[in-house]
Structure 1
Amino acid sequence: MTQERQTDLLDPARATAFQVALGGVATIASGSELPPFFHQLYFWTPQPAAELGRDGHPKVGGLIPDMGLPRRMWAGGRLTFHVPLIAGITAEKKSVLESQSAKVGRSGPLGFVTLRHEIWQNGQLRVTEWQDLVYREDPAPNAEMPQPPRARTDETDCREVGFDSTLLFRYSALTFNGHRIHYDLDYARDVEGYGGLVVHGPLLAQLLMLFAVDLIGPLASFSFRATSPLMHFETAQLCRRGENMWVRGPGGRQCMQAVVQSQ
């Protein structure tokens, strides 16, 4: 089984920079518990330019197999939060390729990859994460965009959030995500067929998790699935009813759905 191991010092400065980028106040110091999903800010895998694909991601063929499809999307994931990670202490990330498969959908060939990550600190498993990726072909010229699903409207809690190119750039920088759909408008529009810069799926998931913490306290688990892209110039609503959460975009379209459980 293909595996990777990384270690990283969970620098509190990176976490506070993210808090400020989201419009909050810097509160994290060495010894502080990190909010859920903040491990995305760490465990960078820098590669020289020659080892990057056309989209800015590292070339496939290592942990992620080359399935011959150029477009990558983070389709969703599942997380179990065993014990909070602590800022200022070194942690280890163990990653394995859990599954891969291929099929043909309405838009053409699709490749599915699931990675499993374990985050350890002080000899204790802190977070288990399953990351679901989808690979697909470039869109055909003048191809119609698939019709997005409609979002629920029966939420009991709602928070409006806005985005811009600066926030997307800062999140890409803090997570060392080189995917050009998040900062290169010409590439996003002309090569991958989007109407603007694409808001990161993990950023939407992160905002849902932080909203959930505000509402129900520490999280035991969180699962999410991206259902339609949100552009950098659009506002959205974070919604919750019971264990169900979702992101509602303009026109009532559903951009993400999620299930949350508290500790």
Structure 2
Amino acid sequence: MENLAQNAPPHEMRQTDVMDPARAAALLATLGRPAAVQTGDALPPFFHQIYFWQALPPAELGRDGHPATGASDNSVIPDLGLPRRMWAGGRLEFHAPLRAGLAAEKITTVADISRKTGRSGPLGFVTLQHDIMQDGQLTTREYQDLVYREDPAPDAAKPQPPIAPVDETHAEPAIFDTTLLFRYSALTFNGHRIHYDEAYSRQTEGYDGLVSHGPLLAQLLMLLAERQLGPLSRFEFRATSPLMHHEAATLCWREDGTLWVRGPDGRQNMTAKAS
């Protein structure tokens, strides 16, 4: 594997935002858990995803609706020449509660960039580090793993997804329809077209429908873990196969802190570990 991090210029991006209580309440309602959020309340884990928007004009977006990569003040990711972007997973450390109604800062740096050639062709791997600061204190450190790849060939065989375990000690059903995907995209200011443009998702990126957001699955697993464990200190997750908008899923918990998402055909969509 070729390591490119040493060739990437040092660069960071800083964003500030106020943790609007109304936006947090909107996400809770979107997830089917309506609740009032007041200034000073501790936000649920991973809710920083709905803040720190990059509101760029269309000319500064890539074809998929995300901010364009490359030499730009709006991106820390170099142009790897690979058009398809996927959020492959991540790791989070929770150091202190992120409070609603107060200003916070997000500092993004590139932790690692590498390339290799897989069975489907060239792949680019990018890990971003996001530090969420509030009142001079680190509240959350997130490592976000992204994968970039080429468009699929029309006759390319789809990879065989792993089969999910069935030994959970607790399970909850989850439905991902177009309304949920639209509202989550809006709240996270996520312009990726695979989540709302079905023709693009099918014809250009080769999916079987609209793709349920990886971080949305992770968010639901985090909230499930918090209900089982109380406040979280660490959480890591890995996407293993896409879940379409027309598919119901099962959120699974095992008493050792392992979680996963199981699709309607038994395939594994995501794995996670919480503590």
- TM-score in same-fold range (> 0.5): yes
Provide the rounded CA distance (Å) in 1 between the counterparts of 2:252 and 2:11: 38
Match of 1:249 in 2: 263
Q: Give runs of ≥4 in structure 1 deviating > 2 Å.
A: none
- 1:174-193 paired onto structure 2 within 5 Å: 174-193=187-206
What code does the residue aligned with 2:127 have? T
Provide the rounded CA distance (Å) in 2 between the counterparts of 1:150 and 1:106: 20
TM-score normalised per structure 2: 0.94
SS of the residue 2:49 aligns to: helix
CA contact (8 A) 2:225 2:257 kept: no
Match of 1:43 in 2: 52
- 1:155-174 paired onto structure 2 within 5 Å: 155-174=168-187
What code does the residue aligned with 2:102 have? I
- 1:1-263 paired onto structure 2 within 5 Å: 1-61=10-70, 62-241=75-254, 242-261=256-275
Residue by residue, what CA displacement relative to the aligned partner does 1:47-92 show, whole Å, maximum 9, x if unpaired?
Answer: 1101111100010013011100000000000000001100000000
Q: Percent identity?
A: 64
Provide the rounded CA distance (Å) in 1 between the counterparts of 2:78 and 2:146: 11
Segments of structure 2 that go 5 or more residues without pairing to the other structure are: 1-9
Segments of structure 1 that go 5 or more residues without pairing to the other structure are: none
Shift of 1:4: 0.6
Paired residues, number: 261
SS of the residue 1:128 aligns to: strand
Provide the rounded CA distance (Å) in 2 between the counterparts of 1:176 and 1:29: 23
SS of the residue 2:233 aligns to: strand
Residue by residue, what CA displacement relative to the aligned partner does 1:195-250 show, whole Å, maximum 9, x if unpaired?
Answer: 00000000000000001111111100000000000000111111111121110111
What code does the residue aligned with 2:163 have? R
What code does the residue aligned with 1:97 have? V
Shift of 1:27: 2.2
Provide the rounded CA distance (Å) in 1 between the counterparts of 2:202 and 2:38: 40
RMSD over aligned Cα, in angstroms? 0.7
Provide the rounded CA distance (Å) in 1 between the counterparts of 2:16 and 2:48: 12
Residue by residue, what CA displacement relative to the aligned partner does 1:87-115 show, whole Å, maximum 9, x if unpaired?
Answer: 00000011100110000001110000000
Residue by residue, what CA displacement relative to the aligned partner does 1:99-138 show, whole Å, maximum 9, x if unpaired?
Answer: 1000000111000000001000011100000000000000
Provide the rounded CA distance (Å) in 1 between the counterparts of 2:246 and 2:188: 21
Provide the rounded CA distance (Å) in 1 between the counterparts of 2:36 and 2:97: 16
SS of the residue 1:219 aligns to: coil
